[in-house]
A and B are shown apart, each in its own frame.
Chain A
């Protein structure tokens, strides 16, 4: 126990003196998540607020041919902008979301009771234009329905004849669950905080020590190698845990700073959220430290370890990616798979749904089992003869 503590304390002390390690472990790693979270929340809030009727500014070509239509649209919140010469180019250059073109024979067709055609010119591959296009189409269709009904009434027919089926939308989503899709990327940032928090230590304590030729004299001491390993793993865990804590605090501060209640969202990133995230992430702290050390032990140099670990960093992104692309229903077995369990668990917490005691314990227990296996595997590599030989 004593020698493990000696190794642990020395590694912590030495790395506290390294600015690069501190910078990445305690600033960059943990805070990138909350930063991106704040950006996303900002987007969500802007989007939700935009749903409230804001004037829709759209260039209208040929407004003079349909003054009544334009007046009606104005009442719905359209602000007609002056006509443009080349609507296709305007839309392609994203100078306008959509352009409305009214043909010169609009009035003639109208008077003859024929269908008058108006054109909406837009580019549906531009993501942000969707809202404007839908709103304009809605306005036009509701004007059309209204005028159609008037025509029927004028001929003594009931307007309901034209609408045998009517559809009423009952959307069960909340602003929070709508944002949930977006939040599915956030658990990865917790994993990232843990990963980056321990990465430089993991490289330094195995590949780095060997490259600097200090591993051989170290192993000449009368201490079994697994004790060195556990001391070193402890130091890595402390750094990644610190990184995780800073990250969680960062989210908490973000949660306070963003006026989510304005949108009717209950983003609770307070203490209960923090504690649950911490709890289910704990096994990952150990697992990642062991995996990083395992990979670093195979690398011949610091640089090689660094490139291997950068690749390893992509692995936790896989469940995040799959869950956000595939329409998978969350099943209880998922909590048994390390990384995936944390992913679905934290997503659930972010959606404002608490985790059951069963879910938490399954997630933690399975994580710990895999973490112990990874540690045993790393210890086996640590026993190998060639680990210590630098030249």
Chain B
């Protein structure tokens, strides 16, 4: 479970995150929806302790990120906005590197790695060097290395960015599977359809603030719009930066 309490982050005069609070529960997919530049990535970066908030608190499974950043990172599997691989290493070697950094032993690494390779259907690229991977293959490898230590909480920053239709479908299925395994899945997106199709709970962010935090149905009821797209536009106040 990920709890965010009253988070602030300013860069000079820019209030990137301006008082964000929400909870992402286990066994649920929580979507962070907002136009480009709404503060999604900055919020997530504070969750996985890459950045320190100016104010506020992040709790992951009850652990305070400000107190024990390492323990928090151990509880998290992260697919950041930046998802560069090591081009001169194969997909397997990329995954193994992160597994060792998580402190796993070789036997465990082996089992977990092969499970993920199977689940993500990447057997054909597992021993190829990452140089020349397609966008989809890169994302798969990046997800596999992020989840190799079997984290209870999964953070995905715009996971379907740049993926084609097939790869997107595959990824959504994989995310549902993570949810069914009882994990807490938190992902960001600026694509309404995607959020609507996947999420148990939608958190809408605009201008660094949470403007809605509801189930999809409640969101529709709240705004009086049948169509989710219209609901979002109404909440955010404009359709700038959103994609259908």
A326 contacts B by Cβ under 8 Å: no
Among candidates B81, B88, B98, residue contacting A221 with C-beta atoms closer than 8 Å: B98
B19 within 8 A of A: no
Q: How far is the CB of B123 from chain A (nearest CB, A)?
A: 22
| A304 CB-CB contact with B under 8 Å | no
| Closest Cβ–Cβ distance, residue B81 to chain A (whole Å) | 7
Complexed CA–CA distance, A154 and B197 (Å): 125
Given contacts A221-B102, A385-B50, whether A216 and B80 have CB atoms under 8 Å apart is yes
State whether B86 touches A217 (Cβ < 8 A).
Answer: no
User: Which of the residues A209, A222, A388 comes within 8 Å of B102, measured between beta carbons?
Assistant: A222
User: Which one of A2-10, A91-99, A133-141 contacts B?
Assistant: A2-10
Are the C-beta atoms of B76 and A220 separated by less than 8 Å? yes
State whether A10 touches B87 (Cβ < 8 A): no
- Across the interface, name the chain B residue whose C-beta is closest to A387: B50
Known: A14-B89, A18-B88, A222-B73. A216 touches B101 (CB 8 A): no
The answer to whether the Cβ of B203 comes within 8 Å of any Cβ in the partner chain is no
Residues of chain B from 14 to 50 with CB closer than 8 A to chain A in the complex:
45, 48, 50
Interface string of A1-42 (1 = CB under 8 A from B): 011001100100111011000000000000000000000000
Interface size, B (range)? 20 to 34
Interface size on A, residues (CB 8 A): 29
Judge whether B97 is part of the interface by a CB distance below 8 angstroms. Answer: yes
- Report Cα–Cα, A347/B84, bound state, in Å: 46
Residue of A nearest to B85 (CB): A214
State whether the Cβ of A219 lies closer than 8 Å to any Cβ in chain B: yes
Q: How far is the CB of A207 from chain B (nearest CB, A)?
A: 13
- Which residues of A have CB within 8 Å of B103? 2-3, 222
Q: When the two chains form their complex, are residues B88 and A3 in contact, meaning their CB atoms are under 8 A apart?
A: no
Task: Provide the A122-144 mask, 1 if CB < 8 A to any CB of B, else 0.
Answer: 00000000000000000000000
B101, A3: Cβ atoms closer than 8 Å: yes
B59-93 interface bits toward A, Cβ cutoff 8 Å, 1 = contact, 0 = none: 00000000000110110101111111111110000
Complex Cα distance, B146 from A10, in Å, reads 17
A223 at the interface (CB under 8 A from B): yes
Residue A268 interfacial (CB < 8 Å):
no
* B contact residues around A2 at 8 Å (CB): 100, 103
Q: Could you say which residues of chain A place their CB within 8 Å of the CB of B86? A: 10, 14, 214
Contact of B78 among A3, A7, A212, A217 (CB under 8 A): A217
B101 touches A221 (CB 8 A): yes
- In angstroms, Cα B99 to Cα A6, docked, is 10
Choose from A7, A18, A388 the contact partner of B50 (Cβ within 8 Å): A388
Nearest CB in chain B: distance from A213 CB, A: 3
A7-B45 Cα distance, complex, nearest whole Å:
23
Do B82 and A215 touch across chains, with their CB atoms under 8 A apart? yes
Known contacts A222-B71, A222-B73, A222-B74; is-contact A217 B82 (Cβ 8 Å): yes
Q: Is B226's CB within 8 Å of the partner chain A?
A: no
CB neighbors of B among A54-75 (8 A): none
Of B73, B78, B84, B85, the most chain A CB neighbours within 10 A belong to B84
Task: List, in ascending order, chain B residues with CB within 8 A of A14's CB.
Answer: 86, 88-89
Known: A2-B103, A209-B84. A220 touches B50 (CB 8 A): yes
| Closest residue on chain B to residue A17 by CB atoms | B88
Judge whether B82 and A385 touch: CB under 8 Å: no
> Do the beta carbons of B73 and A212 come within 8 Å of each other?
no
Q: Which of B78, B85, B101 has the most chain A CB atoms inside 10 A of its CB?
A: B101
Inter-subunit contact B142/A217 (CB<8 Å) = yes
Please, what's the 1-or-0 string for A203-215, where 1 marks a CB less than 8 Å from any CB in chain B? 0000001001111
Shortest CB distance A390–B (Å): 5
Collect the chain A residues with CB atoms within 8 Å of residue B82's CB: 213-217, 390-391
The answer to whether B50 and A216 have CB atoms under 8 Å apart is: yes
Please name all residues of chain B whose beta carbon is closer than 8 Å to the beta carbon of A220 when the two chains form the complex. Answer: 48, 50, 73, 76, 78, 80, 146
By a CB distance below 8 angstroms, the chain B residues around A222 are: 70-71, 73-74, 101-103
Q: Which residues of B contact A272 (CB under 8 A)?
A: none
10 nearest A-B residue pairs (beta carbon): A214-B84, A213-B82, A213-B84, A222-B73, A216-B82, A212-B84, A220-B78, A221-B101, A6-B100, A222-B74
Residues of B that sit less than 8 Å from A by CB: 45, 48, 50-52, 70-71, 73-74, 76, 78-89, 97-98, 100-103, 142, 145-146
Q: A3-B100, A213-B84, A385-B52 are in contact. List 15 more A-B contacts (CB 8 A).
A: A6-B97, A14-B86, A14-B88, A209-B84, A214-B85, A216-B81, A216-B82, A217-B145, A217-B146, A220-B80, A221-B102, A222-B70, A222-B101, A222-B103, A391-B82
Supply 15 A–B pairs (Cβ within 8 Å), ascending by A.
A2-B103, A3-B101, A3-B103, A6-B100, A10-B97, A214-B85, A216-B82, A217-B83, A219-B50, A220-B80, A220-B146, A221-B73, A222-B71, A222-B103, A391-B81
